[in-house]
């Protein structure tokens, strides 16, 4: 009984399907990251840092859609592991300028691999063409609900 007794009404409902797949996706990614002692927020911040360069914690949170308070905890963890460095901005002493380290960049590449494998596991039953279509549609939906 793979598709167990879930009401048929729900099994055809897009919002329910999306949530169902999202649960599996989140589980896969979380498991992958947990295996290397990381969390999703780690990846988000490291990727943001590498793409946009050093930034204050507030900017970091705004760009990644992460709450300021959650940025604090994440930067703490990343700094503990030596993946980022925190330095007071001399030009504005309120700000902490966060910079990714070499170890952080290496770790990010590792996380990229882990994430890629999770995508592959998630999309296993889909052809390459289907995957493209899926990403295209999801992108349009995500962009539309801005």
Distances (CA, A) of 66 to 50, 82, 94, 109, 127: 16, 21, 19, 21, 33
Binding flag, residue 111, DNA (CB under 7 A):
no
Q: How far apart are CA 125 and CA 131, in angstroms?
A: 10
Nearer to DNA, 89 or 132 (CB): 89
Nearer to DNA, 65 or 125 (CB): 65
Nearer to DNA, 67 or 133 (CB): 67
What the block records as the tokens of 92 is 């504005």
**For helices 57-64 and 40-52, angle between their N-to-C axes, nearest 10 degrees:** 110
Q: Which does 58 bind (CB under 5 to 8 A by kind): its own copies, DNA, none?
A: DNA
Phi and psi angles of residue 39, each rounded to the nearest 5 degrees, phi first: -130, 170
Tell me the per-residue interface mask from 42 to 61 with DNA, x by CB under 7 A, - otherwise. Answer: --------------xxxx--
From 2-10, 92-100, 116-124, 137-145, give the range in contact with DNA by CB under 7 A: 92-100
Name which of 44, 36, 113 is nearest 84 in CA terms: 44
Name which of 38, 46, 24 is nearest 98 in CA terms: 46
Residues in contact with its own copies by the rule CB under 8 A: 2-15, 17-22, 24-26, 28-29, 44, 47-48, 51-52, 62-65, 112, 115, 118-119, 122-126, 130-131, 133-135, 137-146
Residues that bind DNA (CB under 7 A): 30, 39-41, 56-59, 65-72, 75, 86, 91-96
């Amino acid at each position: 009984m793979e598709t167990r007794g879930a009401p048929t009404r729900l099994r055809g409902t897009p919002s329910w399907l999306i949530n169902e797949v999202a649960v599996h996706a989140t589980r896969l990614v979380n498991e992958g990251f947990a295996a290397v002692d990381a969390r999703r927020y780690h990846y988000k911040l490291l990727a943001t840092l590498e793409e946009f360069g050093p930034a204050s914690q507030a900017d970091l949170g705004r760009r990644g859609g992460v709450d300021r308070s959650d940025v604090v905890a994440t930067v703490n963890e990343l700094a503990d592991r030596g993946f980022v460095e925190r330095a007071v901005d001399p030009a504005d002493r309120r700000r902490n300028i966060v910079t990714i380290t070499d170890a952080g960049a290496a770790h990010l590449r590792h996380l990229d691999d882990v994430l890629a494998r999770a995508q592959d596991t998630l999309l296993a039953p889909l052809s390459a063409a289907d995957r493209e279509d899926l990403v295209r549609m999801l992108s349009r939906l995500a962009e539309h609900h801005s």
